[in-house]
Amino acid sequence: MSKAKVYYTNLRTVGDRSLPEKLVHLADKAGLGRYALSNQFIAIKIHFGELGNMAYLRPNYAREMVSYLKEKGGKPFLTDCSTLYAGSRKDALEHLETAYINGYSPFSAGCHILIADGLKGDDEVLAPVPGGEFFTHAKIGRAIMDADVILTLNHFKCHELTGIGGAIKNLGMGCGSKKGKAEMHAEGKPMVISDKCIGCGACLAHCAHGAITLDNDGIAAINHDLCVGCAHCVTACSQKAVESPDDEHNQIPSKKISEYAKAVLNGRPAFHINLATDISPFCDCYANNDMPIVPDVGMFASQDPVALDTACADLCNKQPEQPGSRLSESEHRFDDHFCNTHPGTDWRISLKHAQKLGMGSMEYDLIEV
C-alpha cells in the first residue's frame, strides 16, 4: 500500500493571516479545492462540545471553512448525532441549545446546523459496511447519509475507550444514531472495585440507562444487562473505583467504530482535518476536560483519515508531557503518551482495522505547509 499524504502546519501566525485563515490555506493545499463542491450538500461533521467542556474547537474555524466551501459553490452544514449517555446533547433540542451556548449557531458559523439523527436520535439509515467483521450494516444519522460530501473537522485528543479521538472516532461513534452507538458500546463494560468505592453516587448521575445501583452498604454495582458500555461512569468516579476491563474486549469497540466510519465514507468523497490543540485526556463529551497532556502541536489535513490520525498520534508522542497533567501522574508502562494516559487502550487497534477495511494507510508522508 502506497504512503498517504498528510499536510501539516504549525500554530504560528505570520503577517495578517489568522489561524482560521491558515487552516483554510492548509486544507486547500491538501487538495480540498480540487473536489467537485458546487451545488453539493457538504456535511461538516464536528463536535459541539458538552456543556462545561472547554477543549472543543472554537467555532471560528468552522466559520472560515464554511466561507471557503460557499465560495466554491457548496452547500455546507454543521452536523452531529445525539448522545447515548445522560448529558446536554441527548436529543436534538438540547443538542442545539448546547451548540448555541458553546458558540455554534447559524449566525456564528455562517451555515445551518442539523442534528443528523433527528429529534430523538432514531432517524437513521442502514448503511452497508463492506468487509465488516462485526456489522453488515451500520445505523447512521440520516442527514449525514443524505449529504453528497463528508468533511470532518476534528479536535484531536485522548480517549478513554479508543486511546485517541480523531477523524475515525468522529466518523464512527459520532455519526451513529442512538441504536448505533449502543451497538458500538456493547463490549468493554466497566466494573466496580468495591474497596475503592465511597458511595458518592456520581456514577449513578452519569448513567443514562439505570444500570448502576448502590447496595445496602452504599457500594456501587453495575448491571451488565442494562449497561451499554459508554464508560461515562469511569471518568465520573473521583476515586478511580470504576474501571473498564483491561482485556481483549476493549479492542472490540475500537474495531466497531472503524466499521461505522467505513459505512459513512463508503462510496462518497470525503476530506479530513485534525486540530491537535488542547490535547485533553478525555473526549469532548465530558462536562470537563482537564488540562492538556502535551503542548499544542498544530493543524493537519488529509484525504486519508487513517494516515491523518496516525500522523497526529506520532507527533503528539514526540512532545514532552505537561507537568501536572493526568499523563504526568500516570504510571509510565509504555513508550506512548496515549497508552500511558489510558493504559487499557491501544489507539492503533482502530486504525489497523480501518486500514484492513480499505479506508486508508497508516504509512504516510508528512508535508509541511
State how beta strands 298-302 and 4-9 pair: antiparallel
Contacts of 314 (CB under 8 A, 6+ apart): none
Cβ(261)–Cβ(172) below 8 Å: yes
How far is the C-alpha of 293 from the C-alpha of 281, rounded, in Å? 6
Q: What pLDDT sits at residue 348?
A: 97
> If pLDDT is split at 50, 70 and 90, which confidence band does 105 have?
very high
Residue pointed to by grid coordinates 466561507: 67
Q: Where do the CATH 3.40.50 domains begin and end in the chain?
A: 4-184+247-368
pLDDT at 188: 63
| Structure confidence at residue 86 (pLDDT) | 77
Residue with cell 452519569: 206
pLDDT for 58 equals 97
| Residue 299 CB partners (closer than 8 Å, separation 6+) | 8, 9, 10, 11, 19, 22, 23, 26, 273, 274, 275, 276
Q: Is the pLDDT of residue 310 over 80?
A: yes
Cell of 171: 466518523
- Distance of alpha carbon 262 from alpha carbon 264, whole angstroms: 5
Q: Residues 321-334: pLDDT tens digits?
A: 999 999 999 989 89
pLDDT of residue 100: 98
Averaged pLDDT of the chain:
93
Spell out the residues 6+ positions from residue 144 whose beta carbon is closer than 8 angstroms to its own: 43, 45, 79, 81, 116, 150, 175, 264
User: Residue 118 corresponds to which amino acid?
Assistant: G
Summarised one tens digit per residue, pLDDT across range 20-43 is 999 999 999 999 999 999 999 999
For residues 81 and 92, give the distance between their C-alpha atoms in angstroms, rounded to a whole number.
8
Is the pLDDT reported for residue 294 higher than 90?
yes
Compare 304 and 193 and report the one with higher pLDDT.
304
Let me know: does 225 contact 279? Beta carbons within 8 Å. Answer: no
CATH class belonging to 191-243? alpha beta
Residue 15 banded pLDDT, cuts 50, 70, 90 = confident
How many other CB atoms are found less than 10 A from the CB of residue 239? 13
Query: Of 138-142, 150-154, 238-242, which range is least confident?
Result: 238-242
Residue 320: the pLDDT is 97
Could you tell me if 145 and 152 are in contact, meaning their C-beta atoms sit under 8 angstroms apart? Answer: no
Spatial distance between the Cα atoms of 325 and 288, rounded to a whole number of angstroms: 14
Cell digits for 33? Answer: 479545492
* 8-state DSSP, 89: T
Using a pLDDT cut of 90, give the percent of the chain over it: 76
**How many residues comprise the chain?**
369
Query: Over 60: is that where the pLDDT of 90 sits?
Result: yes
* 4-184+247-368: CATH topology: Rossmann fold (3.40.50)
pLDDT at 283 (0 to 100): 93
Contacts with 360 (C-beta within 8 Å, 6 or more apart), sequence order: 4, 304, 305, 306, 307, 308, 354
Q: What are the CA-CA distances from residue 239 to residues 193, 201, 235, 291 (Å)?
A: 10, 11, 10, 19
Q: Is the pLDDT of residue 247 over 70?
A: no
Q: What are the start and end residues of each CATH 3.30.70.20 domain in the chain? A: 191-243
H/E element holding 328? helix 326-329
Mean pLDDT, range 137-163, rounded to an integer: 97
Q: Which has the minimum average pLDDT: 25-29, 91-95, 241-245, 340-344?
A: 241-245
pLDDT tens profile 250-276: 688 999 999 999 999 999 999 999 999
What phi and psi values does residue 41 have, to the nearest 5 degrees?
-75, 120
